[in-house]
Structure 1
Amino acid sequence: MEKKEKNTRKRSLIIDIVLLAIMLIVSVISFYIAYTFGLIPMKWITIFAVVVGCSFLILLLLNFKKLPTWGLVMKRFVLIVLTVCIGTCGYFLDKSRTTINKISKTTVNEDGSTTKKSKMFVVVKKDADIQNLDDLKDQTIGFQNGSDEDNATYMKTLLQKEISFQEREEMDYTALITDLENNAVAAIAMSETFYNMSAANIDKFSEETKIIETYERELTDNQKKHKDITKETFTVYLSGLDNVGSPDQQTRTDTNLILIVNPRANHIDMVSLPRDGFIPNTATNNVNDKFTHTGMYGIDISVETLQQFFGIPIDYYARVSFNSLIQIVDTIDGIDVDVEIDFCEQDENRSFKKDDLICLKKGEQHLNGKQALAYSRHRKTLGYDNPGRERAQQRIIKAIINKLVSPSAITYVNELLEIAPNYVITDMPANQITKFVSSELENMKPWTISSISSDNGVYDTRYVASIAESEGKKDVYLFNKNEVHALLNAYDGASKQLEMKEYHFDLTNLYKDTPAVNDDPNIVWDSMADDPH
């Protein structure tokens, strides 16, 4: 009987040692992920490490003490729960790191330069009799000459060293995929980022294609220096495309916001820009154009145009499409928004059929993804127009931010991490994102958001650079200098943030100490309107 009891205790001890070993391994892996990722503040990691270490030591010592059955069960229950919790934390940290690296494959080096790592694929139709590059000899390969032109050129150079082929170029991958479906090209050269987006946004793309070759690239940029965004004010241009599908498309921008982020004051100024804003387009030799048209030349042109017109740096951009808004809002279980008016709007596919219309009533309500998109797009109601739409877009962005920082965010963080790489493009380096989030977790201060609207100007009819004059004049928005001053004031104030004792102003010249408004004689201001309306 005594021997049997010893064997039972021995088996029990082995089980406990195995469980402790698993806990130790899971803990080491999780803490290694936390330490190397850099998202969690070091003081948090230290506190968690002490707690886990003490728990492990107590559970280990309990193995040398004879416990009643209920005590043994409780000990193992606690051990298993701790292991699962630690492993879950490690899993989500690793998933967060993967997500951030997918959204932005750029990192900032110690000397301020940036390094971007990427993969590039050669994609063909799944049923094509093409297994490798040799099978593409003398056939046509499609390349994107828009937002991903640099990677396309790099791939073109590599492929030319291996096989002879014909070239076909398109402005975006959506057009190239259509070419592949119609057999206009035998293959497409794609970067990994846009391949993943196409797989998420284009029906059956991943099922009907295959990758026959993969290349890897590492690119260092010694020119662009990055701010310390945990201490210095920075700007983000948020671009929402006027289309469904992948955010890589070079098409008109329907939503345009500049976020002026002040990390010292935990404050964001959200500036709405009219899509019809009439300003010099850097892609058309600075001939005046609707700002929405700059999106057709690529996100970099939109950024250049904004920087030139306003005279402030645009540090980063983030780009989404109609699909992005629908997916993000649905993933966070909808948002609460105060709808300004009663209206009906077309659906995401631009259908005005009775069954497809999305209608909302005035007042505070809970919106799903499609309803949020409809509200963010609507501008046809008389007296509401573009200024109303800009207010709606700001309300939606605020509602999303509020939902993301609420305690309920933990319930959908997993799904959000899954979809984010497929619906968002940004040039903010991955370690900058990590550094910023880590700083916010350490400080845990609430953020405030202010809105600045561009609605003091007037509409006019003018010829625009991106549309032939034979098409006639178009409705455009002429900026008022005061609203430009408002943006400059917000940026200047956030950047300098004077102490109260240094604060002063001149009632005779309120803009004395702020940057001057662009004095380019080609800019048409509201006071110069021919047909103001």
Structure 2
Amino acid sequence: MNKKKKIVKYKVVSLIALIVFVVTLFSNHILPFRYEMLISIISVLIFLFIIYKRSKTLNIIFVVMMLVPTLGLFYSQSIFNRLFGNANFETNKISYIKLSKNKLTLDSINSDTIFGQSIGFDNDSFKQINDDLAERFDFTVNMQTSESDFDTVQKLYDGEFEIGIIDNAVIESIVESYPWFVVDFDVLWTIEREIKRDDITKEVPVDKDSFIVLVSGIDINGPISLRSRSDVNILMVVNPSKGTIAMISIPRDMYVPFSCKNDAMDKLTHSGIYGINCTVQTIENFLDIDINYYVRMNFTSFIKIVDVIGKIDVYSKYSFTTDNGYYSFKQGINTLDSINALAFARE
């Protein structure tokens, strides 16, 4: 009788392990539904076989078989969520900067101090700046304007502005034009604003219908919510019935009408400054297509993804050394860690 009770107990534990595994499997958003169904059916059949055999050893083995992949699914889903599922918002940062040689301090700012800002800021940013200055100072700020953030920097160099107000999303672009920018300037303070992002995905049955995914790579470190230039724009056309993926890379410097700026012409890479939705809708309008899903990555998320995978093999058609001289790659297969992989990808 005791033996029968023990067998029943093991069966209950096995059933619980099976249920937890199946629930976790279907809660996981990595595997296609058909594979989830196939794995579930096989698991149930194995469970029924073990019940039929009435074996304690087989029950223990089955519990372990269910426990290990369940933990793996929890881990993989948590990694996936951290990399891609963080955000229904984006973060816009604006910095107040001055030349390092300028001895101006926060305490010495007065009504004669000349501020400069680009006319390219949107209305929400203008309001954010005005509210910040009104709260910070008890006098009317002497505000001048420039044509762009680049013009703001130049006017700071020329002495026309004492404090410049720039969008952090364009700093990488500024450094390309002014290589000594990070040395020449100090940040007095920074303000930030969270911007709610509308869901623009277009759901389709991904196990049946073809769909398009945009991979947007932005040139910045830190949280993926930060806005920056979209330097990599790859369209992936997935055909599940044929098991094929066709990819096309869109040049970052191609001039296109921006959907978020009343079709104003600019380089595609700059669409990322206005958020991923602007990039997606701009490409949709320009190519007359529907983009169903997107993946947005920056330097930090790229490194994390490679770290999760482990070292990766990358084929190089040529032997070369990166511009900064830190990394070298041979012709043929290179086995790279995350840092070297990022250096390779940026060349």
- Segment drifting more, 91-100 vs 19-28: 91-100
Distance 1:291 1:88, change over 3 A: same
Tell me which residue corresponds to 1:323: 300
Tell me which residue corresponds to 1:26: 17
Distance 1:31 1:315, change over 3 A: closer
- Counterpart CA distance in 2 for 1:19 and 1:261 is 44
One-letter identity of the residue aligned with 2:71: Y
Q: Is the 8 A contact 2:257 2:286 kept in 1?
A: yes
- Counterpart CA distance in 2 for 1:363 and 1:103 is 30
2:249 paired with 1:272? yes
Distance 1:43 1:244, change over 3 A: closer
List runs of 5+ in structure 2 lacking aligned partners. 90-120, 125-134, 137-165, 172-187
Q: Is the 8 A contact 2:214 2:294 kept in 1?
A: yes
One-letter identity of the residue aligned with 2:343: A
Q: Is the 8 A contact 2:213 2:236 kept in 1?
A: yes
Kindly report which structure 2 residues correspond to 1:339-488, keeping only aligned pairs within 5 A, or say none.
339-345=316-322, 352=324, 357-378=326-347
1:206-235 deviations in Å (ceiling 9; x for gaps): xxxxxxxxxxxxx9x8x9753222222211
Distance 1:31 1:55, change over 3 A: same
Q: Is the 8 A contact 1:172 1:249 kept in 2?
A: no
Deviation at 1:94, TM superposition (A): 4.6
Q: Is the 8 A contact 2:83 2:301 kept in 1?
A: no
Q: Say which SS state the counterpart of residue 55 (structure 1) adopts.
A: helix
- Counterpart CA distance in 2 for 1:247 and 1:118 is 11
Tell me which residue corresponds to 1:49: 44
Distance 1:360 1:100, change over 3 A: closer
Tell me which residue corresponds to 2:160: none
Distance 1:240 1:276, change over 3 A: same
- Counterpart CA distance in 1 for 2:245 and 2:59 is 44
Tell me which residue corresponds to 1:216: none
Deviation at 1:296, TM superposition (A): 0.4
1:458-508 deviations in Å (ceiling 9; x for gaps): xxxxxxxxxxxxxxxxxxxxxxxxxxxxxxxxxxxxxxxxxxxxxxxxxxx
Distance 1:83 1:190, change over 3 A: farther
Tell me which residue corresponds to 1:252: 229
- Counterpart CA distance in 2 for 1:91 and 1:376 is 32
One-letter identity of the residue aligned with 2:60: I
Deviation at 1:345, TM superposition (A): 2.2
- Counterpart CA distance in 1 for 2:77 and 2:65 is 18
Q: Is the 8 A contact 2:84 2:295 kept in 1?
A: no
Superposed CA RMSD in Å reads 4.2
One-letter identity of the residue aligned with 1:315: N
Q: Is the 8 A contact 2:202 2:291 kept in 1?
A: no
Deviation at 1:25, TM superposition (A): 2.5
Distance 1:325 1:45, change over 3 A: same
Which of residues 215, 218, 231 is equivalent to 1:241?
Answer: 218
Which of residues 53, 58, 61 is equivalent to 1:58?
Answer: 53
Deviation at 1:101, TM superposition (A): 6.1
Deviation at 1:278, TM superposition (A): 1.6
1:210-266 deviations in Å (ceiling 9; x for gaps): xxxxxxxxx9x8x97532222222111101111111222211112111111112221
Q: Say which SS state the counterpart of residue 250 (structure 1) adopts.
A: coil
Deviation at 1:52, TM superposition (A): 1.0
- Counterpart CA distance in 2 for 1:371 and 1:263 is 33
Tell me which residue corresponds to 1:520: none
Distance 1:243 1:260, change over 3 A: same
Distance 1:183 1:26, change over 3 A: farther
1:287-336 deviations in Å (ceiling 9; x for gaps): 32111111001111111111111111122111001122222223222222
Deviation at 1:43, TM superposition (A): 4.1
Q: Say which SS state the counterpart of residue 40 (structure 2) adopts.
A: helix
Q: Is the 8 A contact 1:171 1:250 kept in 2?
A: no
- Counterpart CA distance in 1 for 2:244 and 2:204 is 17
Kindly report which structure 2 residues correspond to 1:119-134, keeping only aligned pairs within 5 A, or say none.
none
Decide which structure has greater strand share.
2
Tell me which residue corresponds to 2:62: 82
Q: Say which SS state the counterpart of residue 296 (structure 1) adopts.
A: helix
Kindly report which structure 2 residues correspond to 1:143-182, keeping only aligned pairs within 5 A, or say none.
none
TM-score normalized by structure 2? Answer: 0.61
- Counterpart CA distance in 2 for 1:236 and 1:278 is 21
TM-score normalized by structure 1? Answer: 0.41
List runs of 5+ in structure 1 lacking aligned partners. 1-8, 63-74, 107-116, 120-145, 150-165, 176-181, 195-218, 347-351, 379-533
Distance 1:366 1:99, change over 3 A: closer
Distance 1:281 1:43, change over 3 A: closer
Tell me which residue corresponds to 1:91: 71
Distance 1:243 1:100, change over 3 A: closer
Tell me which residue corresponds to 2:127: none
Which of residues 221, 231, 240 is equivalent to 1:263?
Answer: 240
- Segment drifting more, 337-346 vs 237-246: 337-346
Distance 1:376 1:14, change over 3 A: same
Distance 1:57 1:32, change over 3 A: farther
- Counterpart CA distance in 2 for 1:304 and 1:284 is 11
Tell me which residue corresponds to 1:289: 266
Distance 1:245 1:94, change over 3 A: closer
Distance 1:314 1:54, change over 3 A: same
Distance 1:323 1:284, change over 3 A: same
Q: Is the 8 A contact 2:215 2:295 kept in 1?
A: yes
Q: Is the 8 A contact 1:35 1:45 kept in 2?
A: no
Q: Say which SS state the counterpart of residue 276 (structure 1) adopts.
A: coil
Deviation at 1:267, TM superposition (A): 1.2
- Counterpart CA distance in 1 for 2:88 and 2:284 is 28
Q: Is the 8 A contact 1:252 1:292 kept in 2?
A: yes
- Counterpart CA distance in 2 for 1:118 and 1:254 is 22
